[in-house]
């Protein structure tokens, strides 16, 4: 039995929310008030495990870009 942590968790709910709001990864990066990369957003969408700090950056940028008020639990299922 392996004690390694799974890093690839599949497509996350953030992808569907971004589609519904008609937002692209670039829109999220552009709306961020802190340093953020396109790679962070791509990893969030693909389900790559992120640190809590990066999750918060992505959440804040998505809320700024879409004029919404999502919480971490709405965007990620891990």
pLDDT, one tens digit per residue, over 15-71 is: 999 999 999 999 999 999 999 999 999 999 999 999 999 999 999 999 999 999 999
Tell me, rounded to whole angstroms, the distance of Cα 49 from its chain centroid: 10
Per-residue pLDDT, 2: 56
E strand or H helix that includes residue 58: helix 52-66
Per-residue pLDDT, 8: 81
CB 45 within 8 A of CB 18: yes
Residue 5 domain flag: no
Residue 4 domain flag: no
Residue 51 domain flag: yes
Domain that holds residue 71: 13-75
Per-residue pLDDT, 3: 61
Residue 71 exposed, middle or buried by CB count within 10 Å (0-12, 13-18, 19+): exposed
Residue 1 domain flag: no
Residue 68 domain flag: yes
Over 80: is that where the pLDDT of 7 sits?
no
Residue 2 domain flag: no
Give the count of domains, the chain: 1
Per-residue pLDDT, 9: 85
């Amino acid at each position: 039995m392996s004690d390694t942590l799974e890093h690839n968790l599949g497509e996350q709910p953030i992808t569907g929310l971004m589609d519904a709001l008609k937002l692209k990864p670039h829109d999220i990066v552009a709306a961020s008030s802190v340093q953020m990369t396109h790679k962070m957003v791509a990893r969030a969408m693909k389900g790559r495990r992120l640190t809590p700090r990066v999750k918060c950056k992505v959440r804040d940028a998505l809320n700024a870009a879409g004029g919404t008020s999502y919480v971490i639990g709405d965007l990620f299922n891990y």
